[in-house]
Structure 1
Amino acid sequence: MKQDHLWNVAVYIRLSREDGNDESLSVENQRKIIGTFLEESFQGAWTLAGEFVDDGVTGTGAERPGFQRMLRAIEEGRVNCVVCKTLSRAFRNYADQGYFLESYFPRFGVRFISLGGPAVDSYLRPEAICGYEVPISGIMNDRYACRTSADVRNTLNMKRRRGEFIGAFAPYGYQKDMNCKGKLVIDKTAAEVVRNIFLWRAENVSCQEIARRLNFQGILAPSAYKRQSGLRYQNPKLEASRGLWSARTISQILNNPVYIGTMVQGRQRVVSYKIHDRKAVGPEEWFVVEHTHPPIVDRELFDQVNSLVQGKVKGKNSSQTRHLLSGLVYCGHCGQRMGRKTAKGHSYFACRRREGMECPGSSIREDQLEELICGLWEKLEEQDKGNYSVQRTQEEQLLRQKQKELERLKRIGDTLYLDWRTQVISDEEYGRVRQRWKERVQKLECWCEQQGIYGQEEVKKQPDILERSNLVRFVRGIVIGQKGEVALYLCAQNERREGSN
């Protein structure tokens, strides 16, 4: 061995969740064993280039944070020797083991040392890499990972079937029960937001408008709320969204049955224990368990909200033209949706059960219904304009207040800088106060920018009620009585208006 060869050693340590509480595999134990080896048994001059740890990470793939940092150090020339406790700490994948030991490390001139199971030193005993013991050990480590993965998957599926929550973070509106593992309890603060979302949507407020209202009120979106609550939640989209609500987030909440006490898990699964990519599975493979935790909204409200979406996708003819009132007209006797028929040049709505004499329900002409709806719509136009004007005035007043506060903060920033320049305050005090000042200014600027966009919007004219997209925002249901009486249930006012054809 050349005495003047200096080895830049990378210590690699890994512990996966499946290793449990095995003290012999703990991070600290691995660190002590490798440290003792370097001090007492390492052959050659060496210096520690770095320690790379993957704690709670499986070894079946190379996409491990610590392992990847070590590879970058190798490629940058800062590491030319890797030391680990055993082969299984570096590799649980037989194919990866062969690639790195026989191709990657030799290509970059890296000395690889495993202290046991089996002992390997690619510099002192390169023939061991090509022998039988290393490949056989790799196969056994690979099979062990396969069996462990199957055991873990079976255990998780058993918990899913029992309705135990196994996710890393509870859904928005809930918290993990600290006293009962696998159970959810209501987060009162977030649950109130969830209830408002469902109530607004039940009034036919769009998801985009709900998101706007929450942002205007300064309520954090679920991802930002988790971070603020002290959870170690990571999401690459968090910075881009700036903690604001979106229509997509609202839609996901409205469609999640977890809010009626039903646990739905297993919507995705990994391809294999080696390929960690996730793929969606069909509803028939989901784990659905009812009454596993306290509901935030009742089933009636949940079904009402989701029926709004379902009503929009029905009622198409062969030319894909959606009829104006399809899915909105109900029989006042049996409560079933009425079907649309055409006879003698007129379109009618009649109860589908009437033909089989199961229901004595009546029928009504479509043009008469449209006329009644238009009459009510005209009465509501003036009332809606007044309500909108009051709301916009309040929002504009609040926006002006926030803008004045922002101007005041900026003046304070100027004064703060002058105090620092004239040594009225120390560098430490300046740095601490300026950081808080900067965070407050950024938050206000973001809020004012967001609300300024809405403040610039002009008050739009009332939309045409005889367009399908506008009608479903106005009418929740139309009930036809046996004698032809008509009752309209309006979403916006959540009240019952009666009329007669």
Structure 2
Amino acid sequence: MPRNSKFQANSLSNTPSTANAKLWHPALYIRLSREDGDKEESDSIANQRTQLEDFLTQQPDMAPPKIYQDDGWSGTSFDRPAFEQMMADARAGKINCIIVKDLSRLGRNYIGVGTYLEQVFPLLNLRFISVNDHLDSYLSPQTMNTLLIPVKNILNDEYARDISNKIRSSLDIKRKQGQFIGSFASYGYVKDPNQKGKLLIDDEAAAVVQDIYQWFLEGTSIIGIAKRLNALGVPNPSEYKRRKGFDYRHPAGEMLDGLWPDSSVRRILRNKLYTGTMVQGKNRIKSYKLHVSEAIPSDQWIEVENTHPAIIDKETFDRVQDLFTRDRRASPATQKEYLFSGLLRCADCKRAMNRKLISQPYGDYHYYICATYKKMNNGACTKHTIRSDRLEQAVLQAVQQQIALAVEMDELIASINETSGGNRQSQRLQEGIRRAQQAQETAKRMKLELYPDWKNGDISKEEYTALKAKFEMEIDRHDQTIAALQAQQTELQQGVDGTNAFLKEFKQYRNLQHLTRDIVTQLIDMIYVHEGGDITIQFTFADAFQLAREYIEGQEEK
């Protein structure tokens, strides 16, 4: 039997015989959302529908109903698909009565609900029935004008606000614990099916992420990377998720047709998530009534390190972020960044150097010229020109010298450690840390033993309080000692072994014969071009170099 057949039979058999009897064409409106909290079972879609259908069987003047159902839509806003369709049908004359289980199903925005009850429904000649609230604007119009209705609407509104705050607080706690709470994992990851809130690497997508970072460091521009991915037939993140069976939709997804836009490449290159750091809370809903997302300043984002496996190491990520801060001009034709893009500046005005092409009968060559001189040409600065091939040769020689220096310092430090006891000093520090930790554990244990002694009557309350304060001070003192020794150990290690960043990064390129974009961005912070063609190179890892040099000089003085 069809779902509405019982209503049709009931309606026909009980239709009033009077000529002016009114036949109502009802709409059963049903709504449920997360804000309903613990009432979800009683307010479930099925239970609401059953209750409203039972109510209709007792109404002799009701035609078969139309059902409007918003499952998962908040009552704080009236931008709900089924509700909007119901109101459109009401304006078209298809329904003339709206029935809900209670006022909270109509909405939890007391201003909006009041507007509909007091203005919209009367203007449209709509009968409104709230079953549990015993409201009927046709049979008992006086019930619609009591103080009870606005009070109930305020309480429903307040309930929505309270639930919204609790949900937001709960989500923030999970974010601070490093749990992933999104509906879909970011490109390169999948949700762990065995542990809620954890991410696992998606090997196929992770390989693409690694390629994007590598190509960017090699000099390919963001647009160039997007074109390369599209030429290789790699589906963009949205299309990739859909191919994996996820019901994922992106506002621009249909227009892109699976192709990579430059914005997706940029977003991947800027996403700290790939270093194993969970970054969440970048956006928030303005309020429980205004469902509009707004961006949150980056210093308020919730970041928790080492929550999931890293796809990109932190050093590579930091190098990429550094490149974003530079002036990175690329060739419009090739979308290829040159060897020194973003790394060249005029030594005097500190503006970027522009790359230009000169065509001669004997061939073409490129040179760099100060951007201030080229643009202003009013004496604000001079040309500072240098040919690109001569610049590359000069930089290569300077980098080779720096590499040779790193190798020499590394060998010298190794010799110092063998003869002067650098390793012995590290061992002494480690032993000091161990003793301080043991003493701290003893103080903690003695503090814990005080409470049962007090409860057993072995010591008085005053003795308990005094001894507890004493042991707490001792624990804090050991904390400070351990921190100081660990700081000394870290400083010693940075200056005396292969973990020193300067030694580690430069000596790996021994026997270097030519420069690449990757090497240049890794080892060079900035190149300054002087008038006349001389250059000054500001290398990276300057602090680590200084630590290593001071260590060597200090040992030589001994």
Deviation at 1:322, TM superposition (A): 2.4
Aligned AA for 1:278? S
45, 53, 57: which one aligns with 1:35: 53
Asked if residue 103 in structure 1 is aligned to residue 119 in structure 2, the reply is: yes
Q: Secondary structure at the match of 2:291?
A: coil
Aligned AA for 1:7? W
Asked if residue 15 in structure 1 is aligned to residue 32 in structure 2, the reply is: yes
Distance in 1 separating the partners of 2:346 and 2:296: 29
Q: Deviations over 1:408-466 (max 9, x none)?
A: xxxxxxxxxxxxxxxxxxxxxxxxxxxxxxxxxxxxxxxxxxxxxxxxxxxxxxxxxxx
* Alignment match, 1:261: 276
Q: Deviations over 1:294-337 (max 9, x none)?
A: 11111122112222112228869998942469xxxxxxxxxxxx
Aligned AA for 2:81? P
Deviation at 1:77, TM superposition (A): 2.0
55, 80, 83: which one aligns with 1:67: 83
The equivalences for 1:236-385 within 5 A come to: 236-312=251-327, 321-323=351-353, 372-373=390-391
Distance in 1 separating the partners of 2:278 and 2:312: 14
* Alignment match, 1:26: 44
Asked whether the equivalents of residues 478 and 486 of structure 1 are also in contact (C-alpha less than 8 Å), the reply is no
Aligned AA for 1:218? G
153, 157, 182: which one aligns with 2:197: 182
The equivalences for 1:94-173 within 5 A come to: 94-116=110-132, 118-173=133-188
Bigger share in helix: 2
Distance in 1 separating the partners of 2:192 and 2:221: 33
99, 102, 105: which one aligns with 1:86: 102
Deviation at 1:59, TM superposition (A): 0.5
CA spacing shift, 1:61–1:90, aligned 2, 3 Å = same
Asked if residue 45 in structure 1 is aligned to residue 90 in structure 2, the reply is: no
Q: Deviations over 1:226-274 (max 9, x none)?
A: 2222222222311111121011110001000001111111111111111
CA spacing shift, 1:74–1:311, aligned 2, 3 Å = same
Aligned AA for 1:279? E
Asked whether the equivalents of residues 475 and 488 of structure 1 are also in contact (C-alpha less than 8 Å), the reply is no
Given the two structures, how large is their TM-score scaled by the length of structure 2?
Answer: 0.58
Q: Deviations over 1:17-45 (max 9, x none)?
A: 23346321111111111111111x22513
Q: Please, which runs of 5 or more residues in structure 2 have no aligned partner?
A: 1-15, 329-341, 356-378, 396-515, 528-533, 540-558
Question: Taking every aligned residue pair, what percent have the same amino acid on both sides?
Answer: 39
Q: Secondary structure at the match of 2:129?
A: strand
Distance in 1 separating the partners of 2:258 and 2:523: 40
Deviation at 1:284, TM superposition (A): 2.2
Bigger share in strand: 1
CA spacing shift, 1:105–1:318, aligned 2, 3 Å = farther
Aligned AA for 1:207? I
Deviation at 1:191, TM superposition (A): 1.2
Asked whether the equivalents of residues 25 and 96 of structure 2 are also in contact (C-alpha less than 8 Å), the reply is yes
Q: Deviations over 1:178-228 (max 9, x none)?
A: 211111111122111111111111111111111112112222111122222
Q: RMSD value over aligned CA atoms?
A: 3.4
Deviation at 1:6, TM superposition (A): 2.5
Asked whether the equivalents of residues 198 and 254 of structure 1 are also in contact (C-alpha less than 8 Å), the reply is yes
Aligned AA for 1:288? E
Deviation at 1:47, TM superposition (A): 2.1
Q: Secondary structure at the match of 2:308?
A: coil
Aligned AA for 1:322? A
Q: Secondary structure at the match of 1:23?
A: coil
Distance in 2 separating the partners of 1:131 and 1:318: 80
Q: Secondary structure at the match of 2:64?
A: strand
Given the two structures, how large is their TM-score scaled by the length of structure 1?
Answer: 0.64
CA spacing shift, 1:318–1:110, aligned 2, 3 Å = farther
Aligned AA for 1:45? M
Larger Rg: 2
CA spacing shift, 1:269–1:319, aligned 2, 3 Å = farther
CA spacing shift, 1:316–1:368, aligned 2, 3 Å = closer
CA spacing shift, 1:180–1:282, aligned 2, 3 Å = same
Distance in 1 separating the partners of 2:232 and 2:120: 55
Aligned AA for 1:89? R
* Alignment match, 1:476: 521
Asked if residue 55 in structure 1 is aligned to residue 71 in structure 2, the reply is: yes
Asked whether the equivalents of residues 312 and 472 of structure 1 are also in contact (C-alpha less than 8 Å), the reply is no
Asked whether the equivalents of residues 477 and 488 of structure 1 are also in contact (C-alpha less than 8 Å), the reply is no
Q: Deviations over 1:390-420 (max 9, x none)?
A: xxxxxxxxxxxxxxxxxxxxxxxxxxxxxxx
Q: Please, which runs of 5 or more residues in structure 1 have no aligned partner?
A: 326-344, 348-365, 378-470, 490-501
Deviation at 1:65, TM superposition (A): 1.9
Asked whether the equivalents of residues 7 and 47 of structure 1 are also in contact (C-alpha less than 8 Å), the reply is no
Asked whether the equivalents of residues 478 and 487 of structure 1 are also in contact (C-alpha less than 8 Å), the reply is no
Asked whether the equivalents of residues 89 and 95 of structure 2 are also in contact (C-alpha less than 8 Å), the reply is yes
CA spacing shift, 1:320–1:221, aligned 2, 3 Å = same
Distance in 1 separating the partners of 2:21 and 2:253: 50
Asked whether the equivalents of residues 54 and 66 of structure 1 are also in contact (C-alpha less than 8 Å), the reply is yes
Asked whether the equivalents of residues 217 and 518 of structure 2 are also in contact (C-alpha less than 8 Å), the reply is no
18, 22, 26: which one aligns with 1:5: 22
Asked whether the equivalents of residues 22 and 61 of structure 2 are also in contact (C-alpha less than 8 Å), the reply is yes
CA spacing shift, 1:5–1:248, aligned 2, 3 Å = same
Distance in 2 separating the partners of 1:136 and 1:487: 73
